[in-house]
Amino acid sequence: MDKKKRAQEIFTRLARRYPAPQPALHWTNPWELLVATALSAQCTDVRVNKVTPGLFERWPDIPSLAQADVADIEDIVRSTGFFRNKAKNLKAAAQRIMSDYDGEVPQTMAELITLGGVARKTANIVLSNAFNIHEGIAIDTHVKRLTFHMGLTTNTDPVRIEKDLMPLFPRNTWGDINHFLVYFGREICPARKPKCNICELNDICPKKGV
């Protein structure tokens, strides 16, 4: 089975397993998704979901966070790790959205990655989930690990992995494939002990590095 056919079969099987893929992060608008995704770096979604309600209660919108004291933001996001950097970046992102984008989260990759703390992964998640715009595939640790095991990429750099994956899946599914691999990485193919014996991809996965 060639790489593209394998990718398509992987997608078909995972779509059957996860018929309604959604981000594990809690959000109600593009700004909340951007903030939650930025906070999720080196942190679990469960922890982020415990932090964001208090954050959004105190600063419910972009203008209020743009005016917030960084030390106060630090106090709220402390438990997510790298809290000083995250607090500084969140305030900078809010300020830039207010000054350059009329107070609205921008809807292009080129604009999003100008915001503090926003790289391609966060931008892809915001674009695909909040705006249904597919400019790329969000590459996190699960996507990186699983696509290597599955023989869909030999690269380790997220940008190169993304370039390898994009031709293998229809553009309108780029957001879903991220969700599928994140869910599957947590449930069936964790880093320490993949459950190959109960994996529905067992017969088509080359198991590289397993």
Give me the sign of the Cα torsion angle 26, 28, 162, 18: positive
Q: What is the CATH number of the domain that holds 179?
A: 1.10.1670.10
Residue 193: give the domain boundaries: 3-21+137-198
161 is a domain residue: yes
Is pLDDT of 177 > 90? yes
pTM (predicted TM-score): 0.95
Closest-CA residue to 80 (of 106, 49, 126, 110): 49
- Tell me, what amino acid is at 152? L
Q: Which of these is catalytic: 4, 86, 91, 121?
A: 121
Question: Residue 1: which pLDDT band, with cuts at 50, 70 and 90?
Answer: confident
- Quick check: is 140 catalytic? yes
205 is a domain residue: no
Q: Which of these is catalytic: 86, 91, 140, 144?
A: 140
Neighbours of 36 (CB within 10 A): 25
Note whether 16 and 55 are same-domain residues.
no
Q: What is the CATH number of the domain that holds 89?
A: 1.10.340.30
Note whether 162 and 182 are same-domain residues.
yes
More confident residue, 109 or 210: 109
Domain end residue (candidates: 88, 103, 130)? 130
204 is a domain residue: no
What per-residue confidence (pLDDT) applies to 120? Answer: 96
Tell me the pLDDT tens digit for each residue of 39-72.
Answer: 999 999 999 999 999 999 999 999 999 999 999 9
Tell me the pLDDT tens digit for each residue of 83-108.
Answer: 999 999 999 999 999 999 999 999 99
Note whether 157 and 185 are same-domain residues.
yes
Note whether 17 and 74 are same-domain residues.
no
Closest-CA residue to 91 (of 79, 45, 129, 83): 83
* Average pLDDT rounded to a whole number, residues 72-78: 98
Is pLDDT of 37 > 90? yes
DSSP H helical segments within the chain, as ranges?
A: 3-17, 30-39, 45-58, 62-66, 70-77, 83-100, 109-112, 120-130, 141-149, 158-165, 174-187
Note whether 74 and 156 are same-domain residues.
no
Note whether 48 and 111 are same-domain residues.
yes
59 is a domain residue: yes
* Average pLDDT rounded to a whole number, residues 179-199: 96
Note whether 105 and 143 are same-domain residues.
no
Domain end residue (candidates: 108, 130, 152)? 130
- Tell me, what amino acid is at 44? T
Please state the domain count of the chain.
2
Tell me the pLDDT tens digit for each residue of 118-171.
Answer: 999 999 999 999 999 999 999 999 999 999 999 999 999 999 999 999 999 999
Note whether 34 and 117 are same-domain residues.
yes
